[in-house]
Copies of this chain bind each other. A is one copy, B any other.
Amino acid sequence: MRFEGADSGTVRPGGRTARVRAAVLQATGDALAEHGFAPLDLADIARRAEVGKTTVYRRWGTVTRLVADLLLDMAEQSLPRTETGSLFGDLKANARLVQRTLADPRQGALFKAVIAAATCDAKTAEALHRFYDIRVKEWAPCVQQAIDRGEVPEDTDVHEVIRAVSAPLYYRLLTSGESIDEAAADRAAEAAATAARAGAYLRGV
């Protein structure tokens, strides 16, 4: 009886074992940088959808193309923007909306997965970019209103301010284990509003 399994390489970690590890890690980096992450099973999706798997393979072919179509679908369902009368209030409403979405177990996992999928395929990435462009454009007017009120400098890049609200929440979702709570949302909104008022998002300077 031989026990190697998960702890193989722990007893004699030097020499060949170390060289193998280095070579494999190098190759992993290369492979990931080149192909990215490969797709999920379409047969399983057909089963869940109670649809012939031939149909799924014929119409979409790969998971990445399927996800691109899903993003197209998601982009069509838009949520109404709320107006509060102040930049901070509007950004906070936006931040809370994003926070609720990412904190929801199913939605949060879905957004993570969709972003991961876009990592592997150019068409899917394009669909993801279009999705966020639409969402950002939907909220940008609140920054324009702040410009009109004289709250922020004239030539502020309105889209960049909206992105600045979401960025910390997505960064936390992807790179940290901490939960996306309301405090994080409010902090993101406050930071973006403060920086915008101070002229940190001037365009093309």
Binding site for B on A (CB under 8 A): 4-6, 8-9, 20-21, 23-41, 44-46, 48-51, 55-56, 58-61, 63, 66-67, 69-70, 73, 105-107, 109-110, 112-120, 125-126, 128-129, 132, 160, 163-164, 166-168, 170-172, 174-177, 187, 190-192, 194-195, 198, 200-201
A23-B50, A116-B120, A194-B200 known; 12 new pairs, CB 8 Å cut-off, are A27-B48, A27-B49, A28-B67, A31-B44, A33-B109, A38-B40, A115-B115, A115-B174, A116-B116, A125-B177, A163-B168, A170-B175
A38 touches B36 (CB 8 A): no
| A38 CA / B170 CA spacing, docked (Å) | 21
Q: Tell me the minimal C-beta distance from A162 to chain B in angstroms.
A: 11
How many chain copies does the complex carry? 2
A49 touches B70 (CB 8 A): no
Residues of B within 8 A of A166 (CB): 171
A45 touches B59 (CB 8 A): no
Please tell me which one of the listed residues B32, B129, B175, B200 contacts residue A113 in the complex, with CB atoms under 8 A apart: B32
What secondary structure prevails in chain A residues at the interface with B?
helix
| A167 CA / B20 CA spacing, docked (Å) | 35
| A32 CA / B88 CA spacing, docked (Å) | 34
A39 touches B37 (CB 8 A): yes
| A66 CA / B45 CA spacing, docked (Å) | 26
B49 touches A26 (CB 8 A): yes
Interface-centre pick from A39, A69, A117, A174 (highest chain B CB count, 10 A)? A174
Q: Tell me the minimal C-beta distance from A53 to chain B in angstroms.
A: 10
A115 touches B33 (CB 8 A): no
| A35 CA / B39 CA spacing, docked (Å) | 11
B167 touches A36 (CB 8 A): no
B51 touches A24 (CB 8 A): yes
